[in-house]
A and B are shown apart, each in its own frame.
Chain A
């Protein structure tokens, strides 16, 4: 369900506001840490230094994102659905867990496990199709190691 924000009032925050808010927070963090994260050694050269472009880009980004945030709060926005977001979080978390575990359990087990979780979350219930990630992970692991000589974890 979307909330129509026309009529002067504020609309219920949705995806757009969330993304703009996160971007604004990240930009503010970038500006706050700019001086500590970029050291400048003056060699007497005139013109911009290593901080100039990042500072200008971050300030511009902060300004346009703030404008987008204000506009988003007054416009119709795609409502955040907790149950649907939960599925996304599970998929992202399973990928993160697989990556974290890969150095210990190896690429095949990590990737196959994540693939099965993704298939289940996407609504797959047929055993044959649930087994597909295992086959793909095995082919990729074998092909990567032996065909492309990639030292997979």
Chain B
């Protein structure tokens, strides 16, 4: 299987897709205000005519490149290109101010690569066994698993639990529109044929993450990057010995990133700060943290890149996205006929392993392109989003239309954009909405199938070792969340 998958990669288009993806990702990530989620959502329609492997590799390249690109503006301007780079900015900008911006970016790059390789290996080791295990799942098990995933997003996604719950329910309610999954009767279609297919994922994604950004900028209209002078970049090198000295930090941060990434809805910001704090606590020179400690850059960068592989484990094996970006990638997999879930590895094993290997091997072009793009990126960070947002609005319309060649989807995209603007302005988190939208309909379907199987008896949800295990996990999650809430000091 691994050799067959590798042979699939020996294709010029795969290399081109990886390079284009990584370069686009680094550039987009370096522009403050433009994140990987928006970039991937807008690029999905471009991949329609591509083969599945290069298409997914292009999108994953954007993801990888954007996470590293986010650290460029964080280090040089103290403006994180992506939220997960905020921890990198603490020591990265301090190093840049004393003329060591180049060294800081090299530490960020090498740590990113380490985190990516580690998480890819975990992904390759865990995803297929998990998918094979999930083949034994019936509707009751799937319903409990999805309930657990939704609960984790609400309880541990960060921010207000009430807001996360609202967003999950909004997503689940939006998923109701269309045909009933069991009886096929129309629900909330208001007599319109167009509504019978429900809200398509890609137009909603484009609206939530691209169009809403245009509206947010129209509201704020303040430059994200002021006239901050970029500190001069001096020629510098990072020796292997320096990286070897921080091997424990790199490894621990990668472990944190990977395994937090596996939990749905937490994203990459939390593990980045967790790793930063752990590295500081373990360090003999803790006082250097905040003043330009290389380990203060390496720890969050290794962690936030390791999230990629971790988040892909439940996404691909169970069809449960780990965060907003993997939800978008899940949409891309589905569009290319690779429906994530327990059957993915059985039906498309070669394609999936080819994608894993490409993700692993893309570390090589990422290092080369990352080193080449340091100096170019300084100019990229000066680009204001307002220069690009009109083009993004046009691409959003095109992307939404191209899914089904239907203007109805473009109206859905615009509606999602307005809602996304309102939600973001009001402080409501978008990832739970997206995950609620993706999991809401299958959760209802599994729940009802389970109840149909049991003749209406709820005992089926407590009747097998797997469901009992999941009930225990749900109980534990609630208990941990309650304990954490009680320990938190009141303002």
Mark A residues whose CB is within 8 Å of B.
Answer: 15-16, 18-20, 22-23, 27, 30, 33, 37-41, 45-50, 52-54, 57-58, 60-61, 64-65, 67-68, 71, 78, 84-85, 87-88, 90-92, 95-96, 98-99, 102-103, 107, 111-112, 114-116, 118-119, 121-124, 129, 132-133, 136-137, 140, 144, 147-153
Contacts and interface: CB of A to CB of B under 8 A. Distances in A.
B188 A133 contact: no
Nearest to A19: B426
A53 B448 contact: yes
A37 to B, nearest CB: 5
DSSP class of A's interface residues: helix, strand, loop or mixed?
Answer: helix
B176 A54 contact: yes
A48 B451 contact: yes
Contacts of B187: 37-38, 50, 54
Contacts of B427: 16, 78
A133 B391 contact: yes
Contacts of A65: 166
B387 A124 contact: yes
Interface in B151-175: 162-163, 165-166, 169-170, 172-173
B379 interface: no
B394 A57 contact: no
A88 B397 contact: no
- Size bin of chain B's contact surface: 35 or more
Contacts of B393: 91, 95, 114-115, 118
Contact of A87 (B186, B219, B398): B219
Nearest to B391: A136
B180 A50 contact: yes
Interface of B: 45-46, 48-49, 162-163, 165-166, 169-170, 172-173, 176, 180, 182-183, 185-190, 211, 214-215, 217-221, 386-387, 389-391, 393-395, 397-398, 401-402, 405, 407, 410-411, 414, 417-418, 421-423, 425-428, 440, 444, 447-448, 451-452, 454-456
8 contacts: A19-B428, A38-B186, A48-B447, A61-B173, A88-B215, A124-B387, A147-B49, A150-B398
A133 B394 CA distance: 8
Contacts of A124: 386-387, 390
B169 A46 contact: no
Given A47-B455, A53-B448, A99 B391 contact: no
A67 B186 CA distance: 31
Contacts of A96: 414
Given A87-B221, A88-B421, A118-B393, A47 B456 contact: yes
Contacts of A23: 166, 170
A148 B49 contact: yes
Given A48-B447, A114-B394, A119-B386, A41 B176 contact: no
A34 B63 CA distance: 41
Contacts of B407: 99, 102-103, 153
A145 B410 CA distance: 17
A19 B423 CA distance: 7
A33 B456 CA distance: 26
B422 A122 contact: no
Contacts of A41: 183, 185
Contacts of A102: 407
B166 A61 contact: yes
B398 A111 contact: yes
Contacts of B389: 118-119, 122
B218 A122 contact: yes
Contacts of B46: 148
Contact of A144 (B219, B398, B455): B398
Given A19-B423, A99-B407, A148 B402 contact: yes
A116 B448 CA distance: 49
Contacts of A119: 386, 389-390
B405 A150 contact: yes
Contacts of B421: 88
A124 B455 CA distance: 63
Given A19-B428, A39-B185, A61-B166, A47 B451 contact: yes
A137 to B, nearest CB: 5
Contacts of A88: 215, 218-219, 421
B426 A15 contact: yes
Contacts of B180: 38, 50
A46 B456 contact: yes
B398 A140 contact: yes
B401 A115 contact: no
A30 B190 CA distance: 11
Contacts of B185: 38-41, 50
